[in-house]
Amino acid sequence: MNNELTLSGLRVEKFRKTINGKETALYVLKNRAGCELTVTNYGAKIVSLTVPDRDGKWTDVVTGHDSIDDYLTSEEPYFGAVCGRYANRIANARFTLDGRVYELAANNGPNSLHGGITGFNAVVWDVKQVDECSVKLTYVSVDGEEGFPGTLITTVNYALTDDNAVVIDYHATADRPTVLNLTNHSYFNLSGAGDPFIGDHQLIINADYYLPTDETSIPLGLPEKVEGTPMDFRTAHAVGERISADFRPLVIGRGYDHTFILNKKETERCAFAARCSSPKTGIVMDVSTTEPGVQLYTGNWMTGNLTGKNGRRYPRQSALCFETQHFPDSPNKPDYPGVELRPGELFGSQTVYKFSIE
């Protein structure tokens, strides 16, 4: 087992380490079709996701690293990670809940990003491999961790289905009122991780509205229509077609880094959010979620400086993220869908990334 090599070329032993007294490892999931998903319990990260292209060639479609040591020193700490306790940004690193102000770490300009300095992406989760195609991860975030109130117990289940879908189920409970927003931050390139640009990817997003932001990526409040703007992906467009347009939201973000408000009813379970495909490989990814929004991020701050899996580098805009979630800064915007979790309540959320070929 020490020399076990995954389909994506990873060596399992490079993911064994002790961090803060807890053991890390790499968990390999396979389905009957031969697809492979690998997950590490450091940050509950998806490390690789290998699916067939139109010619039957196995293709790893997410960016990442070859070892735990590389993840620990990476300039990109969110590759494949579960982000929390609050994914995305909270303005001025503070919020008010039940009349009390909570101060958070400002780790993204004046704002709190993805749970703070040591968010869920940078802790070791307890883990149980349920069977050959699913794994369950649990993390207990103590009261006051990163400034958030209440002890929160979070479980994330990754399952690789036989029809080539990655199903992510989130659950959480808290012993005090708190705020919660969870997402997975995988960076996808459907031409294969390490391909230099996702501009040719065809994209559809099921959203009539998006949230414009200020210079620090905090939503200004009211949503705006995508119609007549480079934010309109209601019909298919190449990602790179308008990414450099002289359009203020894209100039501020150096590309797409915005929340799209999905066209869905609150009662819908897992509804269609987006479809993305690569003309090079024919690989198609359909995204469905129970969440009200999806943050499209096109890797605008990637530098190409780090070395990724199999020696590949990831330059700017060489991957894109579909972060299904509630809206940024919701704790400070009462008109947004609520993100409060109270004792006795069970938080539940599901996102599905399904792969096919065209």
Q: Please identify which of the residues 65, 185, 201, 258 carries the catalytic annotation.
A: 185
Tell me, yes or no, if 185 is annotated catalytic: yes
Q: Please identify which of the residues 76, 145, 146, 323 carries the catalytic annotation.
A: 323
Neighbours of 165 (CB within 10 A): 18
What sign has the CA pseudo-torsion 25, 30, 34, 37? negative
Tell me, yes or no, if 323 is annotated catalytic: yes
Cα distance between residue 358 and residue 281, in whole Å: 9
Tell me the backbone φ, ψ of residue 68, rounded to 5 degrees: -60, -40
Please give the angle made by the CA atoms of 270, 262 and 77, to the nearest 5 degrees: 80
Distances (CA, A) of 308 to 10, 44, 211, 291: 11, 18, 32, 30
The residues, any chain, with a CB within 8 Å of residue 313's CB and separated by 6 or more, are: 194, 304, 305, 306, 307
CB-CB contact of 273 with 262 (8 Å): yes
Sheet holding 36-40, edge to edge: 26-30, 36-40, 45-52, 58-60
* Class of residue 161 by CB neighbours under 10 A (exposed 0-12, middle 13-18, buried 19+): middle
CB-CB contact of 176 with 44 (8 Å): no
Residues catalogued as catalytic: 185, 323
